[in-house]
Amino acid sequence: MKIFTLDEKYSVVCNTKDTRNGFKHVATIHKNGLSVYETKECYLNRTWERFEYETVLVKAIENFFGEPELTKFLNIIKELN
């Protein structure tokens, strides 16, 4: 499990889970500690991301947030990793 803090209200908790054919990354967006959105990305074998959870983290942010938060949070993620 890894937690990405976006600001004082929002954070994203990412986990890895086994599947029948491989594994998946699950990202859950939390607002003030409460779960408000969840998405997943499935893999059959290893992933070639620049950092662990990159794909599912970006997917969650792009699907949940609109502008201007979208650009702000994507920039924060780029700086963290």
Interior angle at CA 10, CA 17 and CA 14, nearest 5: 10
Average pLDDT of the chain?
A: 93
Helix (H), strand (E) at residue 29: strand 23-31
State how beta strands 2-5 and 34-43 pair: unpaired
Give me the number of domains the chain comprises.
1
Q: What pTM does this model have?
A: 0.89
CATH at 12: 3.10.450
Question: Which residue stretches of 1-81 are H helix?
Answer: 54-64, 69-80
Domain assignment of residue 56, given as a range: 2-80
Q: In whole angstroms, what is the distance from residue 36 CA to residue 24 CA?
A: 20
pLDDT digits (tens, 9 = 90+) for 8-41: 999 999 999 999 989 999 999 999 999 999 999 9
pLDDT of residue 41: 96
